[in-house]
């Protein structure tokens, strides 16, 4: 220490620890397959690091998304980190992944290695199907003499080599081996283990038992059986009824079924309509003999005749015809409203009923006939049938009409008013069958005042059609006049003429004082108070449903003055409106300001 008698030395020591990563983990060799319930030994080793680090065993089954830790215990054996864990495998461990993870503080991410195991396990349940239908009626079915049936032995998920055998009573009649998919190891919810075709003979065995038995080499055995009963149809069905039935009295009917196996169920009921056949469509003028289906195409102005037939109704059925039109269509499909239906009047001469022994009631038919238009394209023709005893049961048959027609334009009026120098759109619907092709719709402006063959016209550059909308872009008063929207397809041309009026913003051109007066400037007037003066306003605009209002700003007085208008043409439309206010000039008007407002459909402009 400086200044002291002696000297002392202070020493400092620092220990440096060099971090070292844990070595790559290694998994001891495993068997390729394990049986459910057996022991799985997992061993993982890795060279220790500095610090030594840790080894973890993790597991992720096939139906799990995250890893779970199964062993976090490790030890140092023979200079290596070692983690050994023993597990009893279950069927749900099939295709499970086991991952060994090594890490310490010197590693940003752990080192991992994984292995996947196969677990052999037999099915938990068996099922018998007959002709792809599950047999679930108390393991007993009815089969006719000489009938052939295909039986299938099916199981739930499994992963095993199975031996499948079929028995009729105690005799083995078929055997095969069912192997799992060893390539992918994947499991199915249901497996078809074996098929067996059986021809039933009542003479050889009246009530045989068919059995499917499944075994493996490790003592598993499971079977399912099915008892077959001969199906015997009734020999006779006898209906006993009273000779007379009195009104408002009870009557007893007896139905007797003889010689049936199994015993049949007997029920009593009136018969609602059993079935409604598809609507039959006929094109009368072109080919009256050819009946077509609901997908047929007709031409515009064809006479359509539709027939609807129903079977098996008691009492006789009643028919109703309806049409459901397209609200919007693209030529292939349409949007329709089920609430907006047009009722059709059927042809009474085509209404017929006749008794049917087969359907135990009355069959009937109804007919409707009408001329087709473009509107009928993609419309649905609906036939409904019911009877008075079953009003809640309504059978329905529908046919979609396809009518070939030239384009028809909907949604546009004959006159349109457009604001000057604006972008406006008008919705328009063009229906056509065959469909329109790109470039088949065009807008023309007529240069002559009359429309006809040979009239001057040109393609409009300011009015265009796109995706169901007619657009008006930056029109001026020079663009007012007659236009045509035209669309064409293979059948012809459809067009719609309309007039365009271009509105201009309201503008008051002049406000002046008439009469005996002198003015200092255009805003200040000296008026002889013994005489009246006339105030007039000249407005150059089209004014719709409004008048000019002249108001004194110095008081609450207000006058609404009728206007007179005149219209003339000079290359463009100009509307002139003049309104005159007469005031008796008295001393109390000295220093007052008179203001004029002009109003039209697009707004109001305040003028001095």
Per-residue model confidence as pLDDT tens digits over 406-447: 999 988 888 988 888 889 999 998 888 888 888 899 999 998
CA–CA distances in Å: residue 402 to residues 66, 267, 278: 57, 45, 16
DSSP state of 110: -
pLDDT over threshold 50, residue 557: no
pLDDT in the model for residue 234: 83
Q: What is the tens place of the pLDDT at every residue in 39-71?
A: 999 999 999 998 989 999 999 998 889 999 999
pLDDT over threshold 90, residue 84: yes
SS3 185: coil
Mean pLDDT, residues 124-150 taken together:
84
For 74, other C-beta atoms within 10 Å of its C-beta total 23
Domains and CATH numbers, the chain: 26-120 (2.60.40.10), 126-230 (2.60.40.10), 232-268 (no CATH), 275-400 (2.60.40.10), 406-503 (2.60.40.10), 508-607 (2.60.40.10)
Q: What is the tens place of the pLDDT at every residue in 203-259?
A: 877 788 999 999 988 889 999 999 888 888 888 888 888 877 776 778 788 888 887
Give just the sign of the alpha carbon dihedral 442, 445, 451, 456.
negative
Highest mean pLDDT range out of 147-161, 320-334, 352-366, 584-598?
Answer: 147-161
As a whole number of angstroms, the distance between CA 409 and CA 487 comes to: 8
Strand 457-459: give its sheet, edge to edge.
Answer: 415-419, 492-503, 481-489, 441-446, 457-459
pLDDT over threshold 60, residue 449: no
pLDDT in the model for residue 546: 36
pLDDT in the model for residue 264: 81
pLDDT in the model for residue 435: 86
- Using a cut of 0.75, tell me whether the model's pTM lies above it: no
Mean pLDDT, residues 178-200 taken together:
85
As a whole number of angstroms, the distance between CA 122 and CA 165 comes to: 15
Q: What is the tens place of the pLDDT at every residue in 89-114?
A: 999 999 999 999 999 998 999 999 99
Give residue 483's pLDDT band: very low, low, confident or very high (50, 70, 90).
very high
pLDDT over threshold 80, residue 459: yes
3-state helix, strand, coil in the chain (%, to 5): 0, 55, 45
pLDDT in the model for residue 252: 84
Mean pLDDT, residues 182-195 taken together:
84
pLDDT in the model for residue 376: 87
Greater confidence (371 vs 527) lies with 371
Give residue 543's pLDDT band: very low, low, confident or very high (50, 70, 90).
very low
Angle at 138 between CA 132 and CA 140, to 5 degrees: 65
Residue 374 tokens read as: 């473009």
Give me the DSSP letters along 281-318: EEETTT-TT-EE-TT-EEETT-EEEEEEEEEEEBS--E
pLDDT over threshold 70, residue 186: yes
User: Which residue in 489, 374, 386 sits closest to 440, CA to CA?
Assistant: 489
Q: How would you class 68 by CB atoms within 10 Å of its CB: exposed for 0-12, middle for 13-18, buried for 19 or more?
A: exposed
Greater confidence (451 vs 376) lies with 376
Residue 573 tokens read as: 């439309």
């Amino acid at each position: 220490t400086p200044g002291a008698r002696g000297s002392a030395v202070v020493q400092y020591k620092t220990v440096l620890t060099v971090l070292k990563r844990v070595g790559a983990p290694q998994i001891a060799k495993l068997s390729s397959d394990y049986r459910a319930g057996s022991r799985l030994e997992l061993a993982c080793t890795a060279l220790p690091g500095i610090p030594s680090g840790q080894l973890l065993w993790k597991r992720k089954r096939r139906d799990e998304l995250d890893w779970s830790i199964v062993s976090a215990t490790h030890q140092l054996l023979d200079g290596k980190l070692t983690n050994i864990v023993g597990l009893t495998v279950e069927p749900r461990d099939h295709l499970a992944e086991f991952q060994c993870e090594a890490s310490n503080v010197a590693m940003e991410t752990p080192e991992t290695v994984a292995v996947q195991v196969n677990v052999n396990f037999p099915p938990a349940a068996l099922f018998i199907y007959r002709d792809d239908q599950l047999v679930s009626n108390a393991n007993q079915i009815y089969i006719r003499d000489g009938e052939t049936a295909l039986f299938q032995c099916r199981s739930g998920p499994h992963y095993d080599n199975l031996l499948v055998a079929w028995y009729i009573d105690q005799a083995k009649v078929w055997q095969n081996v069912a192997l799992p998919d060893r390539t992918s190891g994947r499991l199915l919810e249901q497996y078809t283990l074996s098929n067996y075709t059986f021809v039933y003979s009542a003479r050889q065995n009246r009530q045989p038992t068919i059995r499917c038995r499944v075994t493996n080499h490790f003592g598993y055995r499971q079977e399912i059986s099915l008892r077959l009963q001969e199906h015997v149809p009734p020999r006779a069905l006898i209906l006993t009824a009273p000779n007379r039935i009195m009104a408002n009295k009870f009557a007893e009917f007896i139905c007797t079924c003889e010689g049936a196996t199994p015993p049949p169920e007997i029920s009593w009921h009136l018969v609602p309509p059993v079935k409604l056949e598809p609507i039959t469509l006929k094109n009368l003028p072109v080919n009256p003999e050819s009946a077509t289906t609901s997908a047929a195409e007709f031409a515009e102005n064809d006479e359509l005749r539709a027939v609807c037939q129903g079977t098996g109704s008691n009492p006789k059925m009643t028919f109703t015809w309806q049409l459901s039109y397209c609200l919007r269509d693209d030529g292939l499909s349409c949007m329709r409203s089920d609430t907006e239906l047009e009722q059709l009047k059927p042809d009474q001469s085509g209404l017929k009923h006749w008794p049917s022994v087969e359907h135990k009631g009355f069959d009937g038919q109804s007919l409707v006939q009408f001329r087709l238009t473009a509107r009928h394209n993609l419309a649905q023709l609906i036939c409904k049938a019911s009877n008075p005893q079953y009003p809640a049961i309504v059978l329905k048959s529908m046919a979609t009409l396809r009518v070939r027609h030239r384009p028809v334009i909907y949604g546009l009026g004959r006159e349109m008013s457009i604001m000057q120098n604006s972008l406006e759109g008008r919705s328009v619907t063009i229906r056509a069958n065959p469909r329109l092709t790109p470039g088949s719709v065009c807008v023309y402006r007529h240069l002559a005042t009359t429309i006809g063959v040979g009239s001057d016209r040109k393609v409009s550059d300011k009015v265009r059609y796109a995706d169901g909308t007619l657009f008006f872009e930056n029109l001026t008063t020079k663009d007012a006049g007659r236009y045509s929207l035209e669309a064409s397809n293979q059948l012809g041309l459809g067009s719609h003429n309309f007039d365009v009026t271009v509105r201009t913003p309201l503008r008051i051109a002049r406000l002046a004082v008439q009469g005996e007066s002198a003015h200092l400037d255009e805003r200040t007037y000296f008026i002889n108070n013994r005489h009246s003066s006339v105030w007039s306003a000249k407005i150059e605009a089209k004014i719709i449903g409004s008048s000019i209002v002249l108001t004194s700003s110095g008081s609450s007085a207000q006058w609404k003055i009728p206007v007179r208008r005149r219209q003339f043409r000079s290359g463009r439309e100009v509307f002139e409106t003049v309104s005159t206010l007469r005031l008796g000039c008295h001393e109390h008007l000295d220093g007052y300001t008179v203001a004029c407002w002009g109003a039209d459909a697009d707004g109001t402009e305040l003028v001095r």
